[in-house]
Amino acid sequence: MLAFPGYELTVDLPRQVIVKPQGEEIPFDVQAFRKHCLLNGFDDIGLTLLQSEKIKSFEAQRLATKPWLAHTL
């Protein structure tokens, strides 16, 4: 059961305000990094995938210098 059926708010993340139906704006704070992630749809996996080329390079170098790590039991 909703306390106020039909009541709506607008969250304007880029401007960091909540807009009430009458137009009143309530500012809020959000960390810049969290805002960036929310606006760009990045979760932890998405952020990791942004580094995929660096990860591949690291893995290739590690395999070249420690080939025994490629073997599994």
Per-residue pLDDT tens digits for 21-68: 999 999 999 999 999 999 999 999 999 999 999 999 999 999 999 988
Average pLDDT over residues 4-26: 95
For residue 57, the model assigns a pLDDT of: 96
Q: How many domains does the chain have?
A: 1
Sorted by sequence, the CB contacts under 8 Å of residue 45 that are 6+ apart come out as none
Count of CA atoms in the C-beta half-sphere (13 A) of 37 = 13
Decide if 62 is inside a domain. Answer: yes
Decide if 4 is inside a domain. Answer: no
Decide if 46 is inside a domain. Answer: yes
- Give the residue numbers spanning the domain of 36: 10-70
